[in-house]
Structure 1
Amino acid sequence: MDVDQPVASCSVLTTSVVLQTLPKIDENNSMDNKHPKERVVELLDLLEGHVETLRKDAAQLEEDRDQLLATLDTVRHADLLNQLDENDVDDVSRYADRIMNRCQTVEVRVLTQRDQMQEEALSQINHLIDGLVMDLRNDHEAAKQRCISYVNACSSIMVDGVMDKKFESALLGCTLDDQKRVKKRLQGLLSYFGRLRVQMFD
């Protein structure tokens, strides 16, 4: 299956621009010969477009925050720290913790409407990915191969290896928004595996 995302537009509207371009409701406009319902529907169409832009911007902020946290975690566990003396390690760790705590004060959530079956499918997906992350500590290579099989289940283009049919079946039960988020999350994990491998062989 393929849940590839379309290329995002380069001109992402900021919140301030959105507010400036919101349609104005003029109920006394005698120059507009359209039926009142048609005028209201046109306004709602414009507002719907702004809402979707807002959701996309918020989702991007949510992703940026997660990437920042993942990068901070990578820095905190970098092999480079082994070259520092104990006092320097403490200083760097406190600095990283302070940045991480600051980042965690930012909360961005984009809610997705789901029915019961979609909730259960997403729960199954999260359980599988959480298990993958836990297995990373025990067997790095096996966890990486499983991650690749999950990524292959999200796309029509095989990265390498095989596709996990159980994961694909659960993913098909998720909403389209959840499918896109899962694919991004797995791609981020795969990049993390790549960085770990570089550190291991430095």
Structure 2
Amino acid sequence: MSIDSSNPSCSGVPTSVVLQTLPQIDEEDPKSNKPPKERLLEFLDILEGHVEQLRKNASQLEEDKDALLVALDSVINADILYNLQDCDRDEVNRYTERIINRCLTVEVKVLTQRDKMQEDALYQVNHFIDGLVMVMKTDPESAQARCISFMNACSSSLVHGVTDKNFESALLGCSLDDQKKVKRRLQGLLNYFEKMNVVPYHN
């Protein structure tokens, strides 16, 4: 059994090419003097690298999709849109909605393995963020300040203001993958505040 250990990066490579470059097992390899178990473990190490690259690529696609939806949402809320004639504004809105619906047909999901404590921690974090979102329209300045205090809990250095210690405690109980996703979500909310020209709130 021989293993071709060539392991090109999967990023940006068509699936057909990736399949052709995956290692192959040759059950009868007179050149190999390694025990079967060692050869199999080497083979699995190579495949694990491909799997991790696959997860990385899928996660990037998730981020790309979110970024596209945010950009499309900015068109719907752009001030320039309301300077158009009604018929022109309707045309732009219909075009935007068509692209959004097309984007939503793409479903990419990378599952994160969690234990019970990590699930509970993520539930608490999402509860904090959901509460923030609920007050965005009624009190955007306060919501922004709270978002910044959450973001400070995700960063080694403060954005400005204070850190929400309760949020930080819940966040530290989450898996590393979830912590990264939470930080991206909060950054998206902060970008939204900037686009809405919310005046930063300082304690």
The answer to which of 170-179 and 187-196 deviates more is 187-196
- How far the C-alpha of 1:85 sits from its partner, in A, is 1.4
Amino acid at match of 2:13: T
Cα deviation, 1:66-89, whole Å, max 9, x if unaligned, reads 111111111111111110111111
The answer to which of 119-128 and 42-51 deviates more is 119-128
Amino acid at match of 1:185: R
Partner of 1:133: 133
Partner of 2:75: 75
Question: Structure 1 stretches of 5 or more lacking a match?
Answer: 1-9
Partner of 2:5: none
Partner of 2:169: 169
Against the structure 1 CA distance between its residues 189 and 14, is the aligned structure 2 distance closer, same or farther, given a 3 Å change threshold? farther
Secondary structure of the 1:57 match is helix
Structure-1 separation of matches of 2:37 and 2:10: 31
Larger-Rg structure: 2
Partner of 2:184: 184
Question: Structure 2 stretches of 5 or more lacking a match?
Answer: 1-8, 199-203
Do 2:10 and 2:53's aligned partners in 1 also have CA atoms closer than 8 Å? no
1:1-202 equivalences in 2 (<5 Å)? 12=11, 14-16=13-15, 17-197=17-197
Do 2:152 and 2:162's aligned partners in 1 also have CA atoms closer than 8 Å? yes
- How far the C-alpha of 1:20 sits from its partner, in A, is 3.2
Secondary structure of the 1:193 match is helix
Structure-1 separation of matches of 2:134 and 2:179: 22
Structure-2 separation of matches of 1:141 and 1:20: 54
Structure-1 separation of matches of 2:60 and 2:70: 15
RMSD, aligned CA: 1.6
Select the structure with the greater relative contact order (CA < 8 A; seq sep ≥ 6).
1
Do 1:13 and 1:53's aligned partners in 2 also have CA atoms closer than 8 Å? no
Amino acid at match of 1:117: M
Amino acid at match of 2:167: F
The answer to which of 76-85 and 47-56 deviates more is 76-85
Q: Percent identity?
A: 63
- How far the C-alpha of 1:27 sits from its partner, in A, is 1.1
TM-score normalised according to structure 2 size: 0.88
Do 1:112 and 1:177's aligned partners in 2 also have CA atoms closer than 8 Å? yes
Amino acid at match of 1:82: Y
Cα deviation, 1:157-197, whole Å, max 9, x if unaligned, reads 11100000011011011111101111111112112211211
Against the structure 1 CA distance between its residues 146 and 84, is the aligned structure 2 distance closer, same or farther, given a 3 Å change threshold? same
TM-score normalised according to structure 1 size: 0.89
Secondary structure of the 2:196 match is helix
Against the structure 1 CA distance between its residues 81 and 70, is the aligned structure 2 distance closer, same or farther, given a 3 Å change threshold? same
Do 1:18 and 1:50's aligned partners in 2 also have CA atoms closer than 8 Å? no
Structure-1 separation of matches of 2:24 and 2:10: 23
